Structure 1
Amino acid sequence: MNLIPKQSSLQDRDYVHKLRMSMEKNGLLNERGELDLSSCSDREFLEIFFLEEINNEDRGKPLSPQTLKAYRTDAQTLLSFMEDYQITFKGIGFPEVRMYNRYINEKYAARSAARKLNFFRRLLAFGYKTHFYKGPLYEWIKKPAIKKGHYSDLLSETQTYSQVRELSQQDAEELIGLFSKLVKQKAYRVQRTKRNELLGHLLYKTGMRASEIVSLNWGSFRYNRRGEVNIDVIGKGNKQRTIPVIDDRFLNALFEYRRSFEESAEIDPYDRSPLFFSIRTYYNEETRFHKKRMSYKNIYHIVKTAAKYAEKNPHISPHWFRHTYITTLLENDVPLSVVKQLAGHEDISTTNVYLERIEKEKLHDHLSHVRFGV
């Protein structure tokens, strides 16, 4: 369902009139001029919820593909549950809310459960605001407590201390050292090897999210006034930040990767071609490679394969490198405010969680000079 006629625009003097007429025609406005979905079908309600609450272009902050995928997954979880128990959206009441709440808490780890329940809460709140539901059913949702910080939810019965989702420097270096050795294809073996080497540097030495790495262009790299190379990153909520390329090995890996494709290694901030792309033997008159942007799934597969090959924790994912980067900076006395900026954290309290954990692990050091005299 499209709430706004396609032919309408803000420059059209009759925009508001056409919008009102379209919504009244679809029975979406009540006598007070409010968005009223009380007469909508289940399908229409879900479509309008995604249109207005999830995919709303007026927010000015486009959602990342990973975020959109998470919302679709959460919606599918809810729809599958409703199908199994023969529940309709219109038929949701207090018993159904509490039953779904319990189902999610029992089936999923705390972080996943909290996200899925937050999606459900948003849907119910939207339904109440638009008169699809007569009461604030969302108030009955109880999300699980989540341990502050980057801890794993996967605790065995004998564990009393949560495992941190990050790597030791030794493990991180071992894993990225394996990236280039994972290449088995004969076609473009050199290019794939150089790509994996550069990917390792980006994961370990920038703290970028995998979604940010796949969004990089060749033009994301530039020289600053001091002749040093920086990376301009577009992060969550379209927020920009700058990350330095910190050593010669990193820089050499970048240039060698470019040269392996017989492309210029001259940094060009206006070049919008993707840094990482699928290497396939497609040919046409204009280009040698099919430059479809590399996906998150590709990076995830490389990290998972390396972890399996090295017989490391099977739950290791690309995001563990981000946590490792932040911890490494703080352990090397990089100021908290600088780490916050490099990590792209919205609030410094998020960065401070890492520092608090580091200080906890230094308790023996803090007390090593104390003598009790007995």
Structure 2
Amino acid sequence: MNEIIHLQQITSEQYLHKLQTKLESQNLLDENRNLSLADSSDQDFLEMFFIEKILTTNKRLSPHTLKAYRSDAKTLLIYFTEHELTFRDIGFPEVKAYNRYIREKYAAKSAIRKLEFFRRLLEFGYETQFYKAHLSTWISKPSSKKGHYIMEDSQMRPQVRELNQKDAEHLIACFPKIVKANTNREQLEKRNLLIGYLLYTTGLRASELLSLNWGSFRHNRQGILYADVIGKGNKPRSIPMREETIKILLDYRQSIGESVEINPEDISPLFFALYNKKDFHAEKKRLTYASLYKIVKEAVGLAGKQTKVSPHWFRHTFVTMLLENDVPLAVVKDWAGHADISTTNVYLERVNQDQTHLHLQKVSLFQ
């Protein structure tokens, strides 16, 4: 595995020669000089799959995405271990059995992702002659309601994973109240409040929020403060900051003794571990997703509403509120960083559905 990773990091001049030598020495080329894993071990097969189909990509994978891939692989390997299977044992009955196991154990969206991982693995196995049959054709994924929904426990109908304005404001007000530590209490409270405001007023993904640096902020030519972020697929975008959020941002910076002058060259993390930290100018350890998730869930517990709320609910809320206030669809797409406008249109369709009563009120049904 380390040799393959090293192979990816060398210069293009060295790449062909080293790749030829490596593949030929391990007998990984067939008579047509195509990659062949027909005689490879399970470990080599899985490693080559990750290198060629997961890690070798033009897109920068976020830590969250990589964690999901590892989780999918772990689920598959645990299933194999429990049923005393190897990758070589996989055939039609094993594919169908695993397919059923995933569909029964996981919610639709998680099942779809895990089965897609399995499908890609089987496709790669067929392409590289590890499998002689096209086994991926037997995978059948569950259907999932398009958009940002969860199924309510009590009734078989979708519940939108977002907040109304009143609940969102109430929840954000709880972010600073969850701080229990005496050390750096003021700084922690201001940090948590800023996290809540950024989630609510920018629609940032959790990974995007955590990757913010002080240098991520800049003034445009009109003097308006923007945040520059790198989203999914390594795509950059800029999001304007609201005055309320800017004030809290500057209060937070002042509380940790940092300059409030905008400096695009500053690559220090905006959010970092503050507990028991005495010197804020020392090396800063960037806040983790686990810490962010804990902040949100503790605030949710304190608020006493919508216990299933996660950081991503604020993103759904942001997009919906923009569309409810007639922000153009194309603008919302760009601010949210959606790869395709059809994703944004899912929100618009539901907003339009929720406003159908306005049309009904205009109709005269009684004389």
TM interval, short-chain normalised: over 0.9
Map of 1:268 onto structure 2: 263
The alpha-carbon deviation at position 290 of structure 1 amounts to 4.2
| d(CA) in 2 for partners of 1:288, 1:83 | 48
Counterpart secondary structure, 2:88? coil
**Paired positions, count:** 365
| d(CA) in 1 for partners of 2:277, 2:235 | 35
Residue 127 of structure 2: which of 126, 129, 138 is its match? Answer: 129
Map of 1:155 onto structure 2: 152
The alpha-carbon deviation at position 18 of structure 1 amounts to 3.0
Map of 2:330 onto structure 1: 337
Map of 1:172 onto structure 2: 168
**Does the alignment pair 1:27 with 2:39?**
no
**Distance 1:5-1:319 versus aligned 2 partners, 3 A rule:** closer
The alpha-carbon deviation at position 88 of structure 1 amounts to 0.7
Q: Deviations over 1:136-169 (max 9, x none)?
A: 10111000011011011x333x514200000111
The alpha-carbon deviation at position 254 of structure 1 amounts to 0.7
Map of 2:79 onto structure 1: 81
Q: Deviations over 1:42-78 (max 9, x none)?
A: 111111111111111xx22110000000000011111
Map of 2:36 onto structure 1: 36
| d(CA) in 2 for partners of 1:106, 1:60 | 34
**Does the alignment pair 1:279 with 2:274?**
yes
The alpha-carbon deviation at position 299 of structure 1 amounts to 1.2
**Does the alignment pair 1:225 with 2:208?**
no
The alpha-carbon deviation at position 16 of structure 1 amounts to 2.2
Map of 1:234 onto structure 2: 230
The higher relative CO (CA closer than 8 Å, separation ≥ 6) is in 2
Residue 193 of structure 1: which of 186, 189, 210 is its match? Answer: 189
The alpha-carbon deviation at position 128 of structure 1 amounts to 0.5
**Distance 1:3-1:289 versus aligned 2 partners, 3 A rule:** closer
**Does the alignment pair 1:294 with 2:287?**
yes
Residue 349 of structure 1: which of 342, 345, 353 is its match? Answer: 342
The alpha-carbon deviation at position 321 of structure 1 amounts to 0.3
Letter in 1 for 2:71: T
| d(CA) in 2 for partners of 1:53, 1:63 | 12
Query: Which residues in structure 2 correspond to 1:357-372 (within 5 Å)?
Result: 357-372=350-365
| d(CA) in 1 for partners of 2:277, 2:189 | 19
Between 1:316-325 and 1:249-258, the stretch displaced more is 249-258
Answer yes or no: is the 8 Å Cα contact 1:214–1:276 preserved in 2.
Answer: yes
| d(CA) in 1 for partners of 2:237, 2:216 | 11
Counterpart secondary structure, 2:357? helix
Query: Which residues in structure 2 correspond to 1:54-93 (within 5 Å)?
Result: 54-56=54-56, 59-93=57-91
Structure ranking higher in helix proportion: 2
Q: Deviations over 1:245-299 (max 9, x none)?
A: 122x211111111111111110001111110011144578xx7444011111111
**Distance 1:371-1:5 versus aligned 2 partners, 3 A rule:** closer
Letter in 2 for 1:261: I
Q: Deviations over 1:159-204 (max 9, x none)?
A: 1420000011111111110001111111111111110111111000
**Distance 1:218-1:5 versus aligned 2 partners, 3 A rule:** closer
Map of 1:146 onto structure 2: 144
TM-score by structure 2 length? Answer: 0.96
CA RMSD of aligned residues (A): 1.6
